Structure 1
Amino acid sequence: MNKEEFGGVIVYLNSAYDEQPDKAKMSVYFDLLGIYDLDKAMKAVKAWVTSSPFYPKVSDIINLIRESDGVSLDLVMKELHSVISLGAGQSFSSKSLNPVTAIILKELGGKANIGSMSEDKLKKEVNMKFKYVANEVINGGGQISTGTQTGLSFQTLREVGKQ
């Protein structure tokens, strides 16, 4: 979304709460929300306005965008735990997983590797990758400037995108 479109989102938000955040705060909002499609951002802002009497933090809006696309940290952890719970020799299809889960599973070394991690280490590793992977999947993947910024490769994003 460009700055003009973002301005429309903020005007709507500010009108709903009769608030005028400062330029520094709006700069942060644009930096973090500007990567999303206008329709997704506006839908999330409208959902927030109808459900909360308080001005949102930028993370509140981002979480609503992710949830509207069926992407949440809880879902990823739940799916990873279901993969871990499969017995030796039992298989699963990565096509049955959320694309975010599939990418994170691959990046963490697969079923055997995550199965050997402690719960704390697994949560930490997933949490570190989740935001970047979720944003890439929501925005259509393959848009990481260096291809390795998050440890993801363009190949991984393309493979999951085909599923």
Structure 2
Amino acid sequence: MQSIRNGKTPSPSSTPGRGVSRKMGNIGITVMLIVFLVAVVFAANQNDVIGWLVVIVSLGWLCLATFVVFSVRGAARKATAKLADATAGLRPAGAPGVSVVDEGTIVRDRKLDHSFKIIQVQSKVIRENLDTDREMVDRALETIEITAHNARGMIKKEDGGPVEGTVVD
């Protein structure tokens, strides 16, 4: 299964392995055709019943291989067309029952989740050290300010870059 990156479906040319199966089918048909032709030549030279039986058997295998290769190719084309129709018929993102999320959104959401966890930890540090260690409280507040600024930057897509400072856990 392929992932959908940035809301775009992959192009058929980017699907790996399609050319290999086509080449293998062509090689199989070619080998069967050569076997059939060799059997015909030997049967014609020998002109006996066993040679012609070999020709008939090799012709049967050639027909079977040809049928299998072309039916699989046809089924693959039909499946590709149905898949293309199904994906073309999808409702736009945000419509009920359909959700398309690109990887950038997932990464941003994880970063925001991490930022909120940092803020929760630092607020706990502030509660524990409010009356005892003013320096620890100041560092925790600075960490909260930096984290909040960075999180807002992820949401707003600011180009100012992250605020720098010392982060204390």
TM-score (ref. length: structure 1): 0.25
User: Which one scores higher on RCO, CA 8 angstroms, separation ≥ 6?
Assistant: 1
Structure number with the higher helix fraction is 2
